[in-house]
A and B are shown apart, each in its own frame.
Chain A
Amino acid sequence: MSGRGVWLRARARLRRFPALLGGCGEQAAAYGRCVAAAAAGPAELRRDACLEEFRALRDCFARAVGPGARSGVGGCAFPRC
């Protein structure tokens, strides 16, 4: 899995991110608030501290992308794939 085709497709997917994110403002804000609060707290921010909120955001995002499309786990790579 390499080559310019993958790179262009990945970039095209990434370009849609802002518009898709726009429809998930509530979930994004909730996640952001959670992280900000955890980071400002007495303990260090640990992994999955805001798992619930992120799941909600990711699910909203996946719904916006549409069924059957790959929305964004793992792998690539802004800006290089």
Chain B
Amino acid sequence: MVLNLSFRTFPLALDVGSGRGYIAQHLNKETVEKLIQADIAENALKNAVESEIPTVRVVADEEFLPFKEDTFDLVVSSLSLHWVNDLPRAFKEIHRVLKPDGVFIGAMFGGDTLYELRCSLQLAELEREGGFSPHVSPFTAVSDLGHLLSRAGFNTLTVDTDEIQVNYPGLFEVMEDLQGMGESNCSWNRKPLLHRETMLAAAAIYQEMYGNSDGSVPATFQIYYMIGWKFHESQARPAQRGSATVSFGDLAKINGLISRGKK
């Protein structure tokens, strides 16, 4: 996620779910003057990467941010919100700690992420064992995301989606990489065991159903980018109903309308 915030300097920013501080590496002092990095994993914070901006690291739960309301000019979060239990609550917390006219810019994994892996495991478990349990974390649907942000109080929402496909030799390599990224499944109700036969079956299914022509398999990462603002009187508001001065029916005459407006 590349932040292009060159139009504004944020005196105090918060990175929610900062991990080892990936975002801080890409910020400069003109954009953010001071950054608080919050994560529930103390080890991640301890091993955080250096940044040119002064940072303070805080062990914190996204659902219970230990900050007063109206504290931050900017809150960012990159690819960590899928681990949060109570996402509506986390969004409300983010909204709470933002100052009026502050902005939340976030990126999180979307519903299509790792669908190939999820489906392969599901089919393999059905065929081999007669039933299945979740092995891939639940991801939010994009329609839900807009609602969640609105209900948390954010205005002027922007939600965008992007898909990145990474090719791997096969299912085992996908799973090993996910483990390396610290992204092993976080569902509470998952069966802890994945039988080796089921994995063998899933690998074969993955290859056959999704394999690329060169023998590799794709793993999809769908990313939602979201921007939400905390209300301030200076922000543009939608116009009042009934205040229109032209009708949609006049769209065909738009050239005439424009030249009339110029006179």
Find the residue from A15, A27, A28 having the highest chain B CB count within 10 A: A28
Q: Which residues of B contact A72 (CB under 8 A)?
A: 196-197, 200
- Is the beta-carbon distance between A32 and B193 smaller than 8 angstroms? no
Q: How far is the CA of A18 from the CA of B199 in the complex (A)?
A: 11
Indicate the size class of the contact surface on chain A: 35 or more
Contact mask for chain A residues 6-41; partner B; CB cutoff 8 A; 1 contact, 0 none: 000000001101100100000111011101101100
A10 — nearest CB in chain B belongs to which residue? B196
Q: Tell whether B38 is near chain A: CB-to-CB under 8 Å.
A: no
Report A11 CB to chain B, min CB distance, Å.
9
Option from A36, A47, A76 in Cβ contact (under 8 Å) with B126: A47
Q: Which residues of A contact B196 (CB under 8 A)?
A: 14, 71-76, 78
Option from B169, B172, B193 in Cβ contact (under 8 Å) with A76: B193
- Is the beta-carbon distance between B175 and A29 smaller than 8 angstroms? no
Q: Tell whether A77 is near chain B: CB-to-CB under 8 Å.
A: yes
**Which residues of A (60-81) have their CB < 8 Å from a CB of B?**
61, 71-80
- Asked whether A36 and B205 contact (CB < 8 A) given A18-B170, A47-B130, the answer is yes
A36 — nearest CB in chain B belongs to which residue? B209
Option from A14, A57, A79, A80 in Cβ contact (under 8 Å) with B204: A57
**Which residues of B (193-209) have their CB < 8 Å from a CB of A?**
193-197, 199-201, 203-209
Q: How far is the CA of A77 from the CA of B209 in the complex (A)?
A: 24
Q: Tell whether A46 is near chain B: CB-to-CB under 8 Å.
A: yes
Q: Which residues of A contact B184 (CB under 8 A)?
A: 79
Q: How far is the CA of A15 from the CA of B200 in the complex (A)?
A: 12
Q: Which residues of A contact B126 (CB under 8 A)?
A: 44-47
- Is the beta-carbon distance between B175 and A78 smaller than 8 angstroms? yes
Report A62 CB to chain B, min CB distance, Å.
10
- Is the beta-carbon distance between B127 and A79 smaller than 8 angstroms? no
Q: How far is the CA of A33 from the CA of B230 in the complex (A)?
A: 52
Q: Tell whether B123 is near chain A: CB-to-CB under 8 Å.
A: yes
- Is the beta-carbon distance between A21 and B205 smaller than 8 angstroms? no
B203 — nearest CB in chain A belongs to which residue? A21
Q: Tell whether B81 is near chain A: CB-to-CB under 8 Å.
A: no
Q: How far is the CA of A44 from the CA of B184 in the complex (A)?
A: 29
- Is the beta-carbon distance between B127 and A77 smaller than 8 angstroms? no
Closest 4 CB pairs of A and B: A32-B208, A72-B196, A47-B130, A28-B204
Q: Taking beta carbons and an 8 Å cutoff, which residues of B are in contact with A? A: 123-124, 126-130, 169-170, 172-173, 175, 179, 184, 192-197, 199-201, 203-209
